[in-house]
Structure 1
Amino acid sequence: MANDRGFSLNSLVEILKASAEPTRLRLLVLLSSGDLTVSDLTEILGQSQPRISRHLKLLAEAGLIERYQEGAWAWFRLLRDGESAALTRKIIESASVADAVITRDQARLVQVRASRAEKASEYFSQNAEGWDQLRKLHVAEAKVEAALRAMVGARPVDAFLDLGTGTGRLLQLFEGIYRSATGVDASREMLAVARANLEKAGLAKATIRLGDIFNLPLESETYDLVSIHQVLHFLENPELALAEAARMLRPGGRLVVVDFAPHGLDSLRSDHHHARLGFSHQQMSDWLEEIGLDIVEVKDLTPETAGEALTVTIWLARDRRIEIAADSAPAFSATSRRS
């Protein structure tokens, strides 16, 4: 579509034609602030849903935005990668923020997001008591986050994936090191909380997706860093989730897992729906080894409180394919786990 010196004439004309219409340009400006639904855009622009949908279709066909499904809802976002993404950003940045129409759209966007945040906050408040009780059983989150930051380091990554993203906290924690990020969760209610938190933080480079951790709606080998934070103990077959996470890694990519060390609090099964009572170093090592990952570092965080307290363990592993490829090509093909 584009060569080293720019776009072909036809490609450039198609991109400019797609964006050179008032409603479509307004849509692009709005989507530059984050993902939005047709319903959101209809409410903000005050136009009919068929009209908005038609404009979105034209923008998608021109390769300026993309559409993804979340249950019955269709979400739209700007393309972050590809040949037209940079040009789209330049077009958006050329629009004056002082323009009366854009100013009005942004004000309505704030109202839509405020309404969404209110609903998310209501859900979070209703469930906060149970989460707070569980937090009291293990080391403080601040300590876990500090250890996570130290273990992952400050080296920039291109793409970050957080599985079971919950409130989207890790998307905020690592915002300084990634160019783009995706948070996936199976709960629509938690996704609403995460979206509200990301919008409040102004994190437009992170997006949220509804998805099954065992069958992710994402392309293989897309991410440099993948995290699974306090999710595996809810799963009957956590090793399958680890394998799916490994499928997402680019060669040499890293997986960081945060979960409980083995414990005897059987009440967590009934009170908090835990399927597993923690994971040993050996068990996690065996699972990661089987899916082609080498453990780089392991850290146990023991709470200072006495009694029935849970130790949190962090495992950092790396995809070994680059090392194998450096030794010999046949070894890589024999060990490859992506097919």
Structure 2
Amino acid sequence: MNQSLPSNPDELPLLTDAVELETPLSPLANLLKAAGDPLRLEILRVLSQDSYGVLELCRIFSIKQSGMSHHLKVLANAGLLSSRREANSIFYRRAYLSPDHPFASLQQQLFASLDLLPIAEHLRAPIIELQQERSQAAQQFFSENADKFRAQQDLIASYPVYAEQMTQLLNNTALRDKKLALEVGPGEGEFLAVLAQQFNQVVALDNAANMLEKAKKFAQDNHLRNIEFIHGDTQSLPGHKVLADCILVNMVLHHTPSPADIFQDLSRALAPAGALLICDLCRHEQDWARDACGDLWQGFDPQDFSRWAKAAGLEEGQSVYFALRNGFQIQLRQFFKPTNF
């Protein structure tokens, strides 16, 4: 027997009541609503290859903290952003759903479409200003603490702890040529000795003059004569016409203002079939490392490196992970530049 509708219109359910009911489509509706605002789309675009704190985003977009916090909450609740604490600040970045999630394809297509569009012109200046401030903070730390570098580095991971593993990874990396190797941020220069034995020419790049002098002294004391020293950052590499067969970045990225940009710069400095080898910290919650060791980032999730490398046109190779007694974890990563890139 068919059930008839109520004859009195007042007995019919309100449409607003139906809309507010949780249904299997509610999460999808939340995602679409979150992405249906121009400002929130701009925020997602800016967070493409970097993470920013709430106050930094307020500076970039010139809006009040209460308004920015609202938009970030909406995006986070929709699964488009994730947050993580760095000391006393909370940084936001894009969230990435697992491949088997029903909305993963939609989310990735949204991000891919956003990334085809340029960042708005009026947002570029404050972004550059923030990155310069981060870079200057790191440079100032190493300028003021160059003489304490070894002791501070040893608080987290001393050179011998990762040098053997990194040397093994280098030895296991099949390279088409060994004409030129580049080490970014060579510290006191110990790994330059390994590279000088395996490559015809080695370039040591550092944006901290005091640290570069320490690396030079190490090279002189150990009679390493095939090393060129460049005072600058990765953006300066094209001016020096560096095209490396292998690039190494040992325990450096957590000191850099925009690690994703480093991947882009180094991809351009790699010869076809060249390799990028990275050693750095896994994500951790040791807040003291920021002040004691000049860290800008509390390590990285492995997916961060994979995503940044892919965006820079690099292919993933081997990965090695190992834990230290002090609770830190180290990740060693290998990436290759395609021969046709």
| TM-score in terms of structure 2 length | 0.53
Match of 2:304, as an amino acid? Answer: Q
Count of residue pairs brought into register by the alignment: 197
* Partner deviation per Cα, 1:166-218 (whole Å, 9 max, x = no partner): 22222112222100011011111111111111111111111111112233254
Partner of residue 252, structure 1: 273
Partner of residue 168, structure 2: 150
Distance between the aligned counterparts of 2:336 and 2:145, measured in 1?
A: 38
Partner of residue 132, structure 1: 151
1:212 correspondence with 2:233: yes
1:266 correspondence with 2:284: no
Distance between the aligned counterparts of 1:292 and 1:205, measured in 2?
A: 30
Q: Is the 8 A contact 2:182 2:203 kept in 1?
A: yes
3-state DSSP class of the match of 1:309? coil
3-state DSSP class of the match of 1:172? helix
Offset at residue 127 of structure 1 (A): 4.2
Q: Is the 8 A contact 1:300 1:311 kept in 2?
A: yes
1:317 correspondence with 2:335: yes
Distance between the aligned counterparts of 1:230 and 1:203, measured in 2?
A: 22
Which residue, 196, 210, 222 being the options, matches 1:189? 210
Which residue, 167, 182, 196 being the options, matches 1:175? 196
1:1-339 aligned within 5 A:
127-129=146-148, 131-138=150-157, 140-153=158-171, 157-216=178-237, 218-219=239-240, 222-303=243-324, 305=325, 308-320=326-338, 322=339, 325=340, 336=341
Offset at residue 221 of structure 1 (A): 6.4
Identity of aligned residues (%): 18
Offset at residue 249 of structure 1 (A): 0.5
Match of 1:146, as an amino acid? Answer: E
Distance between the aligned counterparts of 1:230 and 1:141, measured in 2?
A: 9
Partner of residue 116, structure 1: none
In structure 2, the CA distance between the partners of 1:179 and 1:143, relative to structure 1 (3 Å rule), is same
Match of 1:277, as an amino acid? Answer: Q
Distance between the aligned counterparts of 1:195 and 1:309, measured in 2?
A: 33
Match of 1:311, as an amino acid? Answer: Q
Offset at residue 250 of structure 1 (A): 0.5
In structure 2, the CA distance between the partners of 1:309 and 1:200, relative to structure 1 (3 Å rule), is same
Match of 2:204, as an amino acid? Answer: G
In structure 2, the CA distance between the partners of 1:142 and 1:285, relative to structure 1 (3 Å rule), is same
Partner of residue 329, structure 1: none
Partner of residue 73, structure 1: none
3-state DSSP class of the match of 2:156? coil
In structure 2, the CA distance between the partners of 1:270 and 1:205, relative to structure 1 (3 Å rule), is same
Offset at residue 312 of structure 1 (A): 1.3
Match of 2:156, as an amino acid? Answer: L
Match of 2:260, as an amino acid? Answer: E
Offset at residue 309 of structure 1 (A): 2.3
Q: Is the 8 A contact 1:149 1:174 kept in 2?
A: no
Offset at residue 272 of structure 1 (A): 2.4
Q: Is the 8 A contact 1:137 1:310 kept in 2?
A: yes
3-state DSSP class of the match of 1:149? helix
Which structure would you say has the larger Rg?
A: 2
In structure 2, the CA distance between the partners of 1:203 and 1:281, relative to structure 1 (3 Å rule), is same
Match of 1:313, as an amino acid? Answer: Q
Q: Is the 8 A contact 1:255 1:316 kept in 2?
A: yes
Offset at residue 130 of structure 1 (A): 5.5
* Partner deviation per Cα, 1:96-147 (whole Å, 9 max, x = no partner): xxxxxxxxxxxxxxxxxxxxxxxxxxx9997444642441333x53241111
Give ranges in structure 2 of 5+ residues lacking alignment. Answer: 1-141
Distance between the aligned counterparts of 2:280 and 2:214, measured in 1?
A: 22
Task: Please tell me the root mean square deviation across aligned C-alpha atoms, in Å.
Answer: 2.4
Give ranges in structure 1 of 5+ residues lacking alignment. Answer: 1-122, 326-335
Distance between the aligned counterparts of 2:254 and 2:143, measured in 1?
A: 21
Moved more, 205-214 or 246-255: 205-214
Partner of residue 100, structure 1: none
3-state DSSP class of the match of 2:237? coil
3-state DSSP class of the match of 1:288? helix
